[in-house]
A and B are shown apart, each in its own frame.
Chain A
């Protein structure tokens, strides 16, 4: 840990000392997390897991505690492609009942009320989770009872822009699906100005349950988004996620999916579209712990300007996980000469009766395809747009729900609008 880094970590540790007595939940867990964070600090590019993502801008910036908000956040909410129907809205990391629409058949609470830490998060191993565990104050607690199909629920995070006072917030979400339950969770995050959004989510999927988790990260282009999600899937259950990363100056979306029960499955699909000097990191770890499980991943990166995209995808297969079927495809399209992609697919396999594969490709738009469209009178910009959209479609098609898909399509359109401008 260098001096600058120490300063960054120290201000968070200082805040913890100040708030320690007032924070909800098990104090011992928070103290342990603080000890881990104090010992390790922020990760650096010398840490293998952070080889391609530098948190230097985060450690160098100063962040403040969110104020009990001045703004009502309605205007920021309108900027996200929010759908009709139930939604839980968090402003600067705190639950906002005024902006929310509560669902009927789902048990909904907040971390501020329940203050229960889950058992999936690993603050001892993941530094940002330690930071979250140390300072978290609120978050969504969602429970779907056995056998209930809860339909759609939206989880929205917005951050207010208070110039000169960048805030940091660390929401802690927990989602529990009972046996055979179903939920479509559409998560969105956005905001204005500079801030640090450092959410940790734990998802428990019981036997035969299906959690479809679609996430749109469209944070302010000067914000930092560092999210960690842990999912645990029991026998016959499915955790099916799609992550669309469009925003933030530096973003890291880290997903740990553990297939714990036989015949469980997970899909960790995603797309990143980055421009300017954005840095986007999509890191996934799929752990096959039980026999006959399947994992599928299709991840697409579209990079323009001087953007840098990172994909790290690890598939771990334990000794017991015979008959594992793992597949991962990761593709990147570089639209400008200065864009960069770093990709690290990884297989770690200890069982022999498995079928695992990964593929990765990197390239630019196909000149022949471009020529084909141009020769039919389509202007260059439009031709490029058509080809990029086609490239993304394979990943987006993984979203089965039409209204959710349409919502993401709107976000993609808006992204193109911003690129053109």
Chain B
């Protein structure tokens, strides 16, 4: 079993190392002054040369945000965040396009190297002129280097198919009518505290539009990275799948090791029209803080998809191993008749990490169905909460939901919590929910140990088995990475 071997190797290779992706790049940054006020928002908007409607939209969001209070209903505990002590805009200084990789900022190349991006792709990402030929590897990368998308690859191949995949700041100029129509239509600017903040100050993110009847020729991928000290990350992603189209989008995250906590408040909006399908996969591995819980990212994200069309489908798959605090609920609003929502999640917490994650499935249309599979693993002194809502509205005749959430506890100092809300207002709806909490079975552990596996390897193996239902939903390259991450995250938790 090559995958298992790989998992075991990873565990071994990392037993002495710290956070594998914990490097920090030193490149020249264009920073806006700290603090948040109308002036900063106007500055961001001006730097990006945004149209007036967008500035107005931002200012409205900011006005709403000022009237809102930071929510504290989750189980997470953290020191108060000083929103005036953050930089809301940071961009790598732009130079004219380098002629070859030799001219590219070596620091930037090092980042790509550590991320494992192939050389040819690095050239494209770094904006080397004439490097965007055709590639055998069918993954399009839109690298978000801090707040500005450094470059976008594979645009030509995608353009041929009619797919638009670009930084949202570009989309604002190129397809303003699409952005204006859909931006904030799933997550309104005043939806919640962090979404309002994001709407006011988002600097960049990805925009995807798949035209009618098109099956996106490749999987779309964004490497999100957080860089530069004290810059909150406010990504904004908008994906629109027009009638009968199909897209698979991958979001992968790693972050540099640092001491100060960092706020990350992204917003992801998905819109699926008639017969369209969107598959959104996330592997989140931001810096979780050290063993005592110092440092680490605050990941407060609003992700929501609207199945607007009939027979549309949105599927969220996430593997959450990083961040000091994860607080997110990728949701589906099932508006179209016969639409389908799915949520597959693995959340791993170790040391002092806190995760409060789950989903909301709002059944509005007839014969809508949703599936929730959540696997939570807690180790060390961490707390892991599944919080989910299944709501069936009166019109949703024949709605169907199945929920399975399982928690696994490793060690006696951690916590596992399950908080599902089930609300049904239609008699013909069928809702089923199951949840279990247990520790790793002694007999299974004994079986592995007896065959010569070390305690830690055995745990890695069993945890991967526990998460199998979710991992199998991930695209191939992510599945392998995710297995490694699980093993790394649980490192040092057994014994």
User: What residues make up the interface of A, taking CB atoms closer than 8 Å to B?
Assistant: 48, 319, 322, 332, 334-364
Contact = CB atoms under 8 A, between A and B. Distances in A.
- Chain B binding surface SS class: strand
Of residues B420, B427, B431, which shows the largest number of chain A Cβ atoms within 10 Å of its Cβ?
B427
A348 B423 CA distance: 21
Given A347-B435, A348-B415, A340 B423 contact: yes
A340 B429 CA distance: 11
26 contacts: A48-B73, A334-B424, A337-B394, A337-B427, A338-B394, A338-B425, A339-B427, A340-B425, A342-B422, A342-B423, A343-B433, A345-B435, A346-B417, A347-B417, A347-B435, A349-B416, A349-B417, A352-B412, A356-B436, A357-B435, A358-B434, A359-B435, A360-B420, A360-B433, A362-B432, A364-B430
Contact of B421 (A344, A354, A359): A344
Interface stretch (B226-234, B350-358, B403-411, B480-488): B403-411
B429 A363 contact: yes
Contact of A343 (B407, B409, B422, B426): B422
A357 B406 CA distance: 9
B437 A349 contact: yes
Interface in B2-32: none
B100 interface: no
Contact of A358 (B73, B411, B414, B418): B418
A52 to B, nearest CB: 8
B119 interface: no
Nearest to A336: B427
Q: Nearest 8 A-B pairs (CB), nearest first?
A: A334-B427, A352-B409, A362-B431, A360-B433, A347-B418, A343-B422, A357-B436, A356-B437
B66 interface: no
B163 to A, nearest CB: 40
A355 B430 CA distance: 27
A266 B429 CA distance: 32
Given A340-B424, A349-B437, 15 more contacts: A334-B427, A337-B394, A337-B426, A342-B423, A346-B419, A348-B415, A350-B415, A351-B409, A356-B436, A357-B436, A359-B435, A360-B432, A361-B430, A362-B432, A364-B428
Contacts of B436: 355-357
A39 B423 CA distance: 31
The size bracket of the interface on B is: 35 or more
A249 to B, nearest CB: 20
Nearest to A345: B420
Contacts of B431: 360-363
Given A352-B411, A363-B430, A363-B431, A346 B424 contact: no
B433 A361 contact: yes
Of residues A334, A347, A361, which shows the largest number of chain B Cβ atoms within 10 Å of its Cβ?
A347
Interface string B426-451: 11111111111111000000000000
Nearest to A354: B437
B68 to A, nearest CB: 15
B409 A359 contact: no
Contacts, number: 114
A344 to B, nearest CB: 5
A4 to B, nearest CB: 24
Given A352-B411, A362-B429, A357 B434 contact: yes
A362 B429 CA distance: 7
Contacts of A348: 415, 417
Given A353-B439, A357-B436, A359-B433, A341 B423 contact: yes
A346 B411 CA distance: 21
Contacts of B422: 341-344, 360, 362
Contacts of A337: 394, 426-428
A352 B409 CA distance: 5
B412 A351 contact: yes
A334 B427 CA distance: 5
A352 B418 contact: no
Nearest to B438: A355
Contacts of A359: 432-435
Contacts of A338: 394, 425
Nearest to B433: A360
Nearest to A360: B433
Contacts of A347: 407, 416-418, 435, 437
A356 to B, nearest CB: 4
B433 A344 contact: no
Contacts of B428: 337, 364
B417 A354 contact: no
B387 to A, nearest CB: 10
Contacts of B421: 342-344
A348 B392 CA distance: 26
A356 B439 CA distance: 10
B88 to A, nearest CB: 32
Contacts of B437: 347, 349, 354-357
B372 to A, nearest CB: 12
Contacts of A344: 419-422
A327 B344 CA distance: 24
Contacts of A351: 409, 412
A255 to B, nearest CB: 19
Nearest to A304: B427
Contact of B433 (A48, A345, A354): A345
A355 B417 CA distance: 13
Contacts of B415: 348-350
Contacts of B412: 319, 322, 351-353
Interface in B325-377: none
Contacts of B417: 346-349
A364 B427 contact: yes
Nearest to B392: A362
A364 to B, nearest CB: 4
A346 B435 CA distance: 9
A341 B392 CA distance: 10
Contact of B438 (A350, A354, A360): A354
Contacts of B432: 359-362
Contacts of A355: 436-438
A341 B407 CA distance: 26
